[in-house]
Amino acid sequence: MNPILKRTFAYFVPYWKLIALSAICSAIVGGMDGAFAWLIEPVLKKIFSGKDTGIFVMIPFGIVALFAIRGVARFTYDVTIKLAGQKAVQDLSNEIYASTVRQDMAFFNRKSTGELMSHATNDLSTMQQGIANVLVGLFRDVLSAFSLLGVIFYRNWQLAIFTFVVIPLTAYPAQLIGKKIKNASGRSLSIMGGMTAILQETFSGIKVIKAFGLERLATERFRTANLQYLHQFQKFIKYESLAMPVSETIISFGIAGVVYFGGSQVMSGRMTASEFFSFIAAMVMVFTPIKKLQSSYNSLQRSAGAAERVFKLLDEKRSIVERPGAVTFQRSSGMVEFRDVSFSYGDEPVLQHVSLTARTNQMIALVGPSGGGKSTLVSLLPRFYDVTGGAILIDGHDIRDISLDSLVVQIALVDQETTLFHESIANNIRYGKPDATMDEVIDAATAAFAHDFIMQLPQGYDTSIGDRGVRLSGGQRQRICIARALLKNAPILILDEATSALDTESEQMVQKALDNLMMNRTTFVIAHRLSTVLHADNIIVLEGGRIVEQGRHDELIVNDGLYNRLHSLQFSDQETDSALEIHA
């Protein structure tokens, strides 16, 4: 068996009881096809040759009873096998989600959101449909075909050879066409992933599209991708539609031979008309499950194309792994050291030989021009990426020797991108501590100066904030994120330009909340506005991935260095802006 399909069917093993019940019911349905074909000959013989009117009267009742039994069996196997298929796909879906969210940040830098969404929706849907069709028909059609072939060979083995010989001849074109279906399906799903990415980017960036009048350009981009999908799907339709005509054409040779030689035997008296009708009925019936099996095979190949993409995603190796015997921390003291740290994105160096120490409860500010490596440096601390040179230590332990679960507990992050979820405010704050009580949530919100505006909302803490928190202002969203970090109560805090996108009034309120958050914590602050880091214990000036200066504000400001120039430029701009406001 194809390794991909073998791996897929392994997800059905836990549900073998449902599959076994389905197989039994399928055997009943499949066996009845052979029974119907078998009974035609004796029934016709008794009615038309023996003039048995009693059997003739009972036939309608027998037909109804047999079809009722067949209907119950068909319903049972259909429900059980589809349920087993759905449960298996559900397990696979859960595994994909868990595997994906635990990937490192480098993985998400390589993959678009739309592509990942396509794997979890389109690919799984295709797998589910294909596997369900195969399993539903597998037992029924195989047993039906074998029971009918048994009737055929019993009635007349010479004529059966004409039927049986052409059936294997359909295998090669079916396999060839099935391979093309699998390839076309995989390429179609790949293009569909690109379309999903376009949709995700469009809807998340709709404000920019409208602001720049890019509706026509966005529409044309989607139209082009959609046309590519159509061209690829046309190939899939062509191959899938070709399979049945090719199979039927080959089968027609067997039918023609049976009609000619069987008719000759009837006319010569070597075979009765009732036996010939029974044979013809079984022969016509046997081609139906065979054609269904071929259709199931094509569905299976399409499913294999989707499964190949899904398992490729599941097999992605994480670059951030936990070392054997990793240390478990309850709570660190907050002592952090960057020891000769270097980092590269591929062949592009971003940080080079960075060394600094943050003592317990100190505030370390990272400043410098854009692209200097500030955000990358703090991203190394929670192991979003691993250093390519040197080491980062917490309480003297290399963070690569600390268990991932206990490392993430030591660090809280407040980013310039206020990431909120389409849930209640209380649940968004609880992301900092999922088992927090309502009192703890309120205390965190109060310390973040968010309680008052929350209570003014329609349902208070139970208010749903919409997709990415669109129902809140920028300052309100940031204070919710600060409340989340307060609730987590981690000893190490990272503030990545947490006030850069706020107006002056919002910034003042958020800064008060940040002051509460930074209390008794080792804090790394990436600052766009130097006024927010004047009181930092140590200011690290980064340029080109290197530390060019470090010290307190009063030490750096007297030097004719980069910090002095940035400070002079920024504060002269602020004075000009203030003068313009007064003049206006």
Q: Residue 304 domain-assigned?
A: yes
* CATH number of the domain that residue 58 is part of: 1.20.1560.10
Q: Residue 573 domain-assigned?
A: no
Q: Residue 448 domain-assigned?
A: no
CB atoms within 10 A of CB 229: 18
Q: Residue 351 domain-assigned?
A: no
CB atoms within 10 A of CB 284: 13
Q: Residue 491 domain-assigned?
A: no
Residue 151 has pLDDT above 80, yes or no: no
CA distance 391 to 411: 17
CB atoms within 10 A of CB 194: 16
pLDDT over 70, % of the chain: 70
Most confident of 188-192, 357-361, 570-574: 357-361
Q: Residue 59 domain-assigned?
A: yes
Chain segment 100-149, per-residue pLDDT in tens: 778 887 777 777 777 777 777 777 777 776 666 666 666 667 777 777 77
Domain total in the chain: 1
**Integer Rg of the chain from CA:** 36
Q: Residue 416 domain-assigned?
A: no
Q: At what angle do helices 124-155 and 53-101 cross, to 10 degrees?
A: 150
Q: Residue 20 domain-assigned?
A: yes
How much is the average pLDDT of 72-90?
A: 80
Q: Environment class of residue 112 by beta-carbon count within 10 Å: exposed (0-12), middle (13-18) or buried (19+)?
A: middle
In terms of pTM, does the model score above 0.75?
no
pLDDT for 578 equals 43
For residue 204, the enclosing domain spans 3-314
Give the strand order in the sheet containing 492-496. Answer: 411-415, 492-496, 522-526, 363-367, 538-543, 546-551
Q: How far is CA 82 from the centre of its chain?
A: 22
Bridge partners (DSSP) of residue 413 are 494
